[in-house]
Structure 1
Amino acid sequence: MSILQTMNNTGLTAPTVEIKPKEIITHDHIRIDNYYWLNERENADVISYLNAENSYLDAVMSPVKPLQEKLFQEMKSRIKENDESVPVKDGNYFYYAKFVEGGEYPVYCRKKSHLDATEEILLDGNKLGKGKKYFSIGGYEITDDDSIIAYGIDTVSRRNYTVCFKDLKTGKLYKDKIKNTEGGSYAWAADNKTFFYIVRDQQTLLGYQVWRHTLGTDVKTDVLIYEEKDNQFYMGLYRMKSKKYIAIGCDHNGISTEYQLLDASNPMDEFRTFLPREHGHEYNIEHFEDKFYIRTNSNDAFNFKLMQVSEMNMSEKSQWKTVIEHRADVYLEGIEVFRNHLVIQEKNQGLSQLRIINQSTKDEHYLNFGEPAYDANIGSNPNFDTEILRYSYTSLTTPNSTFDYDMNTQTKELKKQQIVLGDFNKENYVSERVFVSVRDGAKVPVSIVYKKGTKLDGTAPLLQYSYGSYGYSTDATFSSNRLSLLDRGFVYAIAHIRGGQEMGREWYDNGKMFKKMNTFYDFIDCSDFLIKNKYCDSNKLFALGGSAGGLLMGAIINLRPDLYRGVVAAVPFVDVVTTMLDETIPLTTGEFEEWGNPKNVDSYEYMLKYSPYDNVEKKAYPNLLVTTGLHDSQVQYFEPAKWVAKLRTMKTDSNLLLMHTNMEAGHGGASGRFASLKDVALQYAFIIDLAGIFN
Structure 2
Amino acid sequence: MGKIKFSSLQAWLHKLGEEQSSDTCLYHEKDDTFSLDLQASKSKRFLFVASESKNTSFNFYLDVSKPEDGLQVLTPRVDGIDTSVSHRGNHFFIKRRTNEFFNSEVIACPLDNTSETTLLLPHRESVKIQDIQLFNDHIVVYEREKGLPKVTIYGLPDVEEPLKSLQGGHTVEFVDPTYSVEPSESQFTSSILRLDYSSMKTPHSVYDYDMKTGISVLKKIKTVLGGFDASNYVTERKWANAQDGTQIPISIVYHKDLVKLDGSDPLLLGGYGSYEICIDPCFNVSCLSLLDRGFVYAIAHIRGGGEMGRQWYENGKLFKKKNTLTDFIACAEYLTESKYSSKEKLCICGGSAGGLLIGAVLNMRPDLFKAAVAEVPFVDVLTTMLDPTIPLTTSEWEEWGDPRKEEFYFYIKSYSPVDNVKAQNYPNILVTAGLNDPRVMYSEPAKFVAKLRDLKTDDNLLLFKCEFGAGHDSKSGRFEKLQEESFKYVFIMKALNMIPDLGCGQK
If asked which structure has higher relative contact order (CA below 8 Å, sep 6+), I would say 1
Matched, 1:662 2:467: yes
The answer to whether the 8 Å contact 1:203/1:585 transfers is: yes
Verify the 8 A CA contact 2:46 2:62 in the aligned structure 1. Answer: yes
User: How far is the alpha carbon of 1:694 from its aligned partner?
Assistant: 2.0
1:568 Cα deviation (Å)?
0.5
Q: Distance between the aligned counterparts of 2:289 and 2:41, measured in 1?
A: 42
Offset of residue 299 of structure 1: 6.7
- 1:416 — aligned with what? 220
2:43 corresponds to 1:234: no
* Counterpart secondary structure, 1:628: strand
Where 2:251 maps in the other structure, the secondary structure is strand
Offset, 1:238 = 2.2
1:327 counterpart SS class: coil
| Aligned-pair CA distance for 1:216 | 4.6
Partner of 2:163: none
Q: Are positions 1:225 and 2:40 aligned together?
A: no
- Match of 2:481, SS state, is helix
Aligned to 2:88: 288
Q: Aligned equivalents of 1:366 and 1:355: distance in 2?
A: 4
Contact map agreement 2:304 2:313 (CA 8 A) in 1:
yes
Deviation at 1:221?
Answer: 5.6
2:32 maps to amino acid:
N
For residues 363-374 of structure 1, the aligned pairs below 5 Å read: 363-374=168-179
1:329 maps onto 2:126 in alignment: yes
Alignment of 1:299-318 (within 5 A): 300-314=100-114, 316=115
Partner AA of 2:393 in structure 1: T
Number of residue pairs matched? Answer: 490
Aligned to 1:680: 485
State yes or no: 1:267 paired with 2:67: yes
Structure 1 residues 292, 458: CA separation in 2 closer, same or farther (over 3 Å shift)? same
Q: Please, which of 297, 300, 315 is the counterpart of residue 510 of structure 1?
A: 315
Secondary structure of the residue aligned to 1:599 is: coil
The residue number in structure 2 matching 1:279 is 79
TM-fit CA distance, 1:247? 1.6
Which SS does the other structure have where 2:67 is aligned?
A: coil
Does the CA-based 8 Å contact 2:42-2:134 persist in structure 1? no
Please tell me whether the aligned partners of residues 467 and 545 of structure 1 are also in contact (alpha carbons under 8 angstroms): yes
> What is aligned with 1:244?
45
Give the deviation of 1:218 after TM superposition: 5.1
- Contact 1:539/1:564 (<8 A) preserved: yes
Question: 2:353 matched to which residue of 1?
Answer: 548
Which consecutive unaligned segments of at least 5 residues does structure 2 have? Answer: 158-165, 501-507
CA distance in 1, matches of 2:486, 2:84: 40
Correspondence 1:311-460 to 2 at 5 A:
311-314=111-114, 316=115, 319-360=116-157, 362-381=167-186, 383-453=187-257, 454-460=259-265
Which whole-Å CA distance do the structure 2 matches of 1:414 and 1:526 have between them? Answer: 35
Displacement after TM superposition at 1:539 (Å): 0.4
User: Which letter maps to 1:625?
Assistant: L
Cα displacement string for residues 146-178 of structure 1 (whole angstroms, at most 9, x for unaligned residues): xxxxxxxxxxxxxxxxxxxxxxxxxxxxxxxxx
CA distance in 2 between partners of 1:686 and 1:353 (Å): 37
Q: 1:482-501 residue pairs with structure 2 within 5 A?
A: 482-501=287-306
CA deviations 1:204-245 (Å, max 9, x no partner) are 222222233344555466443322111111221122211111
The residue correspondences of 1:161-240 to structure 2 (distance < 5 A) are 203-217=4-18, 219=20, 222-240=23-41
Structure 1 contact 240–286 (Cα < 8 Å) conserved: yes
**Counterpart mapping for 1:451-470 below 5 A:** 451-453=255-257, 454-470=259-275
Work out whether residues 292 and 308 of structure 1, in 8 Å CA contact, stay in contact via their aligned partners in 2.
Answer: yes
In 2, are the aligned partners of 1:555 and 1:610 still within 8 Å (CA)? yes
Indicate conservation of the 8 Å contact 1:576/1:611, yes or no. yes
Go from structure 1 to structure 2 and tell me whether the alpha carbon gap of 1:623 and 1:233 turns closer, same or farther (over 3 Å shift).
Answer: same
Amino acid corresponding to residue 91 of structure 2 in structure 1: K
> What pairs with 1:126-145 in structure 2 (closer than 5 Å)?
none
What are the within-5 Å matches in structure 2 for residues 76-95 of structure 1?
none
1:476 maps to which of 278, 281, 292: 281
Deviation at 1:444, TM superposition (A): 0.3
Residues 683, 412 of structure 1: alpha-carbon distance in 2 compared, 3 angstrom cutoff: same
Equivalent position of 1:569 in the other structure: 374
Task: Give unpaired runs (5+ residues) of structure 1.
Answer: 1-200
Partner Cα separation in structure 2 for residue 522 and residue 553 of structure 1: 12
Once residues 427 and 304 of structure 1 are traced to their aligned partners in structure 2, the CA distance between those partners, rounded to angstroms, is: 38
- How far is the alpha carbon of 1:362 from its aligned partner? 4.1
8 Å Cα contact 1:387/1:408 also seen in 2: yes
Cα distance in structure 2, aligned partners of 1:210 and 1:257: 15
Aligned equivalent of 2:160: none
Shift of 1:269: 3.5
Q: Deviations over 1:24-44 (max 9, x none)?
A: xxxxxxxxxxxxxxxxxxxxx
Write the distance in 2 (CA, Å) between the matches of 1:661 and 1:290.
55
The yes-or-no answer on 1:596 pairing with 2:401 is yes
Aligned to 1:664, what secondary structure does the other structure show? coil
Deviations 1:248-295 (A, max 9, x none): 111110x21111221122334421221221111111111111101111
Structure 1 range deviating more: 219-228 or 300-309: 219-228
Q: CA deviation at 1:583?
A: 0.5
- Letter in structure 1 aligned against 2:108: Q
Matched position secondary structure for 1:404:
strand
Q: Secondary structure, in 3 states, of the residue corresponding to 2:80? A: coil
| 1:366-406 deviation digits (Å, cap 9, x = unpaired) | 1110211111122212x222111111111111011110011
Which residue pairs with 1:159 in the alignment? none
Given that 2:3 and 2:389 are in contact with CA atoms closer than 8 Å, whether structure 1 keeps it comes out as no
1:413 counterpart letter in structure 2:
V
Q: Deviations over 1:115-152 (max 9, x none)?
A: xxxxxxxxxxxxxxxxxxxxxxxxxxxxxxxxxxxxxx
Amino acid across the alignment from 1:536: S
- Report the Cα offset of residue 309 of structure 1: 0.6
Deviations 1:52-105 (A, max 9, x none): xxxxxxxxxxxxxxxxxxxxxxxxxxxxxxxxxxxxxxxxxxxxxxxxxxxxxx
Between the aligned partners of 1:585 and 1:479, the Cα distance in structure 2 is 33
Partner amino acid, structure 2, of 1:331: K
Give, in angstroms, the shift of residue 308 of structure 1.
Answer: 0.7
Q: Which residue of 1 aligns with 2:505?
A: none
CA distance in 2, matches of 1:563, 1:301: 39
Letter in 2 for 1:629: G
Matching residue of 1:530: 335
- CA deviation vs aligned residue, 1:586-620 (integer Å, no higher than 9, x gap): 11111111100001111111101100011111222
* Counterpart code for 1:229: K
Q: What is the Cα deviation at residue 480 of structure 1?
A: 0.7
Q: What does residue 449 of structure 2 align with? A: 644
8 Å CA contact 2:80–2:99 kept in 1: the answer is: no
Aligned to 1:197: none
| Letter of the 1:266 counterpart | K
Deviations 1:640-680 (A, max 9, x none): 11111221111111111111111122011111222211110
Contact residue 354 and residue 377 of structure 1 kept, 8 A: no
Q: Distance in 2 between matches of 1:428 and 1:545?
A: 27
Q: Secondary structure at the match of 2:112?
A: helix
Q: What is the rounded CA distance, in whole Å, between the counterparts of 1:502 and 1:541 in structure 2?
A: 24
SS of 2:268's equivalent in the other structure is strand
Counterpart in 2 of 1:61? none
